[in-house]
C-alpha cells in the first residue's frame, strides 16, 4: 500500500488541484494495462507461466500443482522447463483482475480452486466468462466469492456451467437480492454442489 501512495502523490499533486476522479481514472487505466492479454507471451512461455505473470502483476497469488507455498513475488516466479509449473489454485484477494484479462485462463488445465475476494473489477460478465472457460468447466472444484460488490444474482446463476464444481462459498455480496431463488437454480443445475451462503 505504501507504493500506491508514493506513486499516486506525484500524479495527483502537479501544482494544481486535479479534477475529481482524475487519480482514480489513472489507476483504472493502469489496471486495464495490467490486464491486457499478450497472446505472443502465452505462445512463448506457455499458458501457466503467462497466467502467473498476469495474476501476480494484478496482485493475486498462485499455487502450483505439487507445492504448498503460495507464489506472490513476481520477480520470484519459478523458472525451469516450459510447462513444469501448473497453476492449481488462484487467490485473487484485493487484486485488480478484470474481464479483459480472462483470456489468460483459457489454457489452464489444472486449476481446482479460485478465491475472488474484494475484487473491485469482478462483475457478472467475469463470472459468466469464468463458467464458459472449457478447461475450468472440467477442473474447477472450489470457488469462493467474497465482498465483490458488482456481483449480482445473474453472475452467480451463470456459474451453473461449472459442471464439476463441488463447493461454492458466497459471502458479503450486496448485489445478490434473491438468494433463495439463486441458490435453488444452482442446486438444480449442480446437484452435487455444496453451497455455503453467508449473505444478508
The CATH number of the domain holding residue 139 is: 3.80.10.10
* Grid cell listed for 176: 445478490
Determine, yes or no, domain membership for 183.
yes
Strands 167-171 and 194-198: parallel
Determine, yes or no, domain membership for 124.
yes
pTM of the model: 0.85
Minimum mean pLDDT range among 25-34, 50-59, 63-72: 25-34
Our count of domains for the chain comes to 1
Determine, yes or no, domain membership for 5.
no
Q: What is residue 61's predicted lDDT score, i.e. its pLDDT?
A: 98
Give the angle 125-191-115 at the CA atoms, nearest 5°: 45
Determine, yes or no, domain membership for 129.
yes
Q: What is residue 29's predicted lDDT score, i.e. its pLDDT?
A: 53
Determine, yes or no, domain membership for 33.
yes
Residue 31 banded pLDDT, cuts 50, 70, 90 = low
Residue 69 banded pLDDT, cuts 50, 70, 90 = very high
Strands lying side by side in the sheet with 167-171 = 70-71, 61-64, 87-91, 113-117, 142-146, 167-171, 194-198
**Domain range spanning residue 158?**
28-77+84-198
Residue 10 banded pLDDT, cuts 50, 70, 90 = very low
State yes or no: pLDDT of 73 exceeds 90. yes
Residue 115 banded pLDDT, cuts 50, 70, 90 = very high
- Please write the tens of the pLDDT for every residue from 136-157: 999 999 999 999 999 999 999 9
Q: What is residue 80's predicted lDDT score, i.e. its pLDDT?
A: 82
Determine, yes or no, domain membership for 134.
yes
State yes or no: pLDDT of 185 exceeds 80. yes
Determine, yes or no, domain membership for 56.
yes
Answer yes or no: are the C-beta atoms of 181 and 154 closer than 8 Å: no
Determine, yes or no, domain membership for 9.
no
- Please write the tens of the pLDDT for every residue from 117-137: 999 999 999 999 999 999 999
Residue 161 CB: number of other CB atoms within 10 A?
16
Amino acid at each position: 500500500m505504501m507504493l500506491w501512495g508514493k506513486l499516486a502523490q506525484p500524479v495527483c499533486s502537479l501544482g494544481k488541484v486535479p479534477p475529481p476522479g482524475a487519480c482514480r481514472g489513472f489507476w483504472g487505466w493502469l489496471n486495464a494495462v495490467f490486464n491486457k492479454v499478450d497472446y505472443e507471451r502465452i505462445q512463448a512461455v506457455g499458458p501457466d507461466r503467462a497466467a502467473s505473470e498476469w495474476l501476480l502483476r494484478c496482485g493475486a497469488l498462485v499455487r502450483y500443482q505439487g507445492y504448498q507455498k503460495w507464489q506472490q513475488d513476481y520477480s520470484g516466479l519459478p523458472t525451469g522447463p516450459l510447462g513444469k509449473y501448473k497453476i492449481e489454485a488462484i487467490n485473487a484477494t484485493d487484486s485488480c483482475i478484470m474481464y479483459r484479462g480472462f483470456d489468460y485462463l483459457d489454457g489452464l488445465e489444472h486449476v481446482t480452486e479460485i478465491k475472488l475476494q474484494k475484487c473491485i473489477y469482478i462483475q457478472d460478465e467475469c463470472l459468466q466468462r469464468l463458467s464458459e472457460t472449457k478447461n475450468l468447466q472440467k477442473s474447477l472444484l472450489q470457488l469462493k466469492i467474497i465482498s465483490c460488490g458488482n456481483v449480482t444474482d445473474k453472475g452467480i446463476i451463470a456459474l451453473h456451467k461449472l459442471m464439476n464444481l463441488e463447493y461454492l462459498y458466497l459471502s458479503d455480496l450486496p448485489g445478490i437480492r434473491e438468494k433463495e431463488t439463486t441458490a435453488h437454480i444452482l442446486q438444480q443445475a449442480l446437484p452435487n454442489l455444496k453451497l455455503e451462503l453467508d449473505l444478508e
